[in-house]
Structure 1
Amino acid sequence: LVVGSDISRCPNTPWPTCRGYLHKRTHSGFVKGWRKRWFVLKHDGCLHYYRHKKDEGKCSPLEVIKLEGAEVGIDSSLGKPFVFNCVPQSGNRTFCLCATSNQEMKRWLEAMDKAIHPVRQNHVWEDVTLHNSNLPPLAIKNPECLGLLHQLDRNTDMWVQHYCILKDGCLYFYASIRSTQASGGLYLQGYRVNEQILSFKQSVIELKPPSEEFKTFYFCAENNTENQRWITALKASIKKWLPLHQAIQDFMNRPLEETRM
């Protein structure tokens, strides 16, 4: 499944995210020394870096470093403070990085250490969705909505058609109604559903993520009536999944007689 939400990977213990400027030591090119780069540690445990902060989300990263299994530690051999090294498990390259303060260095080391040693948990709901993704579309029981949707590919500005099934906050994609299994899908917990008008004045369904770590998706049905049907169904399906703090608050706000065991 294509991940839309963090719950698909590790619902109870999300991997940390961390972002900020670090100086990266370089030995290539005409300029040797330290270059300031914008680093982003994402939920998937990969460290991305860009030339500038403004490039995040707009440009491809200069490099992506998978941290799981890597070695990270402070390097005092250069006589420069706040320097630490990262040696990925794959490859023999060492990334030498420098923070702006001891506090910043500790923040990065702690976040990277959690990405290096991820805690994985099995989740019964994930097993159910993976099971559903291996079924033909009409074999999924009690779908909340089904039909054709066109998804906007932001890289090509082209619309790609899917036959879609919505079930329990997960949107499954099929090449056609006759497909034997899903070609992909989105976990939509925490997403907000809005109706938007794009530049060509077409009404579309916008799925806005709970965090900037995830993508915004745009869909369009065959007509406005179908759009509204999907919007209503998506909102209802996502609403079933409450953040834990909200569920606790809702429980505490209920009348006393309803909360007694």
Structure 2
Amino acid sequence: MTIGSDIARGPNTPRPACRGYLHKRTQSGLIKGWRKRWFVLTHDCCLYYYRHRRDEGKRRALSAVKMEGAEVGPDTSLGKPFVFKCQPQSGIRVYFFCATSNQEMKWLEAMEKATHPITQNHVWVDVTKHNSNLPPLAVKNPDCLGLLHKMDQNKDSWVQHYCILKDGCLYLYSGIGIYLQGYVVREQPHGSKNSIIELKPPSDEFRTFYLCAENPNENQWIIAIKASVKKWLPLHRALHDYMNGPPEETRM
């Protein structure tokens, strides 16, 4: 069972933050120079590089650089345009990369973001992880449960799943968990179905899910999902709402 867009790797895992060819300055061998390599910067703040694009996902990366805490910025010391460097927090090696003019800012921006990852600690993450390892009937007080059809966009077909909704996470008991915080939930027609539930993610990096209840006239699922998503707020949102809310009466 996998949970969430950004908790575990699975069908709802975000695409890499940045990927493409860069020239990397080599420090090995008698002659130093630039070698073209395929780079992938993932959302877990690691920069992987491969010999060729086709090697991604098929071969082990030549190396991985942990970006968190690294120093990243443009470099003019080598006399070559569009060069930027990266010095990881651990280790003494400095990496030099060279991009084309239209790639430079994209890579710099993505790498700089990766050096200061934003972590969102939700009170219920540990509970959600615990629930993901339980059999369906062991999840106590679910917000909603029953059969749903999920659209398999690769095969253009609908697949039936037993589902449990609990505290902002929808568990489909086929190895999928959808971490719903920030999703927009709406009902709309789709293909041959008169009414389906669309789960639209907060970013294009995540997948949009389409679900259909057993009974097309049932609206309990969409009501329950909307309520479940709003039930739990990230800590910064909860504090913001509290500080901007009307003052409470003091009782003696």
Query: Smaller-chain TM-score range?
Result: 0.5 to 0.7
Cα pair 1:193 1:206 within 8 Å, conserved: yes
Aligned residues: 218
Contact 1:5–1:189 (CA under 8 A) maintained in structure 2? no
* Equivalent residue, structure 1, for 2:216: 224
Per-residue CA distance 1:127-156 (angstroms, 9 max, x = gap): 222221221111111011000011111112
Between the aligned residues of both structures, percent identity stands at: 55
Whole-Å separation in 2 of the counterparts to 1:244 and 1:121: 8
Q: Distance in 2 between matches of 1:106 and 1:259?
A: 52
Q: Mark the CA change 1:218 to 1:69 in structure 2 (over 3 Å): closer, same or farther.
A: same
Taking the aligned partners of 2:162 and 2:176, their CA distance within structure 1 comes to 11
Hey, what's the Cα distance between the residues in 1 that align with 2:135 and 2:128?
13
Shift of 1:19: 5.7
Q: CA deviation at 1:114?
A: 4.3
Contact 1:144/1:233 (8 A) holds in 2:
yes
TM-score, structure 2 as length reference: 0.65
CA distance in 2 between partners of 1:206 and 1:241 (Å):
20
Aligned counterparts, 1:1-261, within 5 A: 1-6=1-6, 8=7, 24-25=22-23, 41-45=41-45, 63=56, 69=66, 79-84=79-84, 96-98=97-99, 100=101, 104=105, 106-114=108-116, 125-175=124-174, 183-226=175-218, 228-244=219-235, 246-258=237-249
Question: 1:219 aligns to what SS in structure 2?
Answer: strand
Secondary structure, in 3 states, of the residue corresponding to 1:218? strand
Quote how far apart the aligned CAs of 1:222 are: 0.9
Pairwise CA distance, 1:205: 0.5
How many Å apart are 1:41 and its aligned residue?
4.7
Q: Which runs of 5+ in 1 are unaligned?
A: 10-14, 27-32, 50-59, 88-93, 176-182
Q: CA deviation at 1:224?
A: 1.8
> Measured at CA, do residues 112 and 236 of structure 1 come closer, stay the same or move farther in structure 2, by a change above 3 Å?
closer
**Worse-matched range after superposition: 188-197 or 66-75:** 66-75
Rounded to whole Å, the distance in 2 between the matches of 1:209 and 1:133 is 20
- 1:161 CA displacement: 1.4
Measured against aligned partners, the alpha-carbon deviations of 1:69-119 in whole angstroms (never above 9, x if no partner) come to 3798767686312324689xxxxxx99442639x9365344234347xxx8
8 Å contact kept, 1:46–1:67? yes
Supply the distance in 1 between the matched residues of 2:150 and 2:96 (Cα, whole angstroms): 38
Partners in 1 of 2:96 and 2:207 — Cα distance?
28
1:163 Cα offset (Å): 0.4
Partners of 2:134 and 2:204 in 1: CA distance: 31
Q: Could you say what secondary structure the match of 2:233 adopts?
A: coil
Contact 2:3–2:129 (8 Å) recurs in 1: no
Cα pair distance change 1:67/1:168, threshold 3 Å: farther
Where structure 2 has 5 or more consecutive residues not aligned to the other structure, the ranges are: 9-13, 25-33, 88-94
CA pair 230-210 structure 1, distance change in 2 beyond 3 A: same
Letter in 2 for 1:81: P
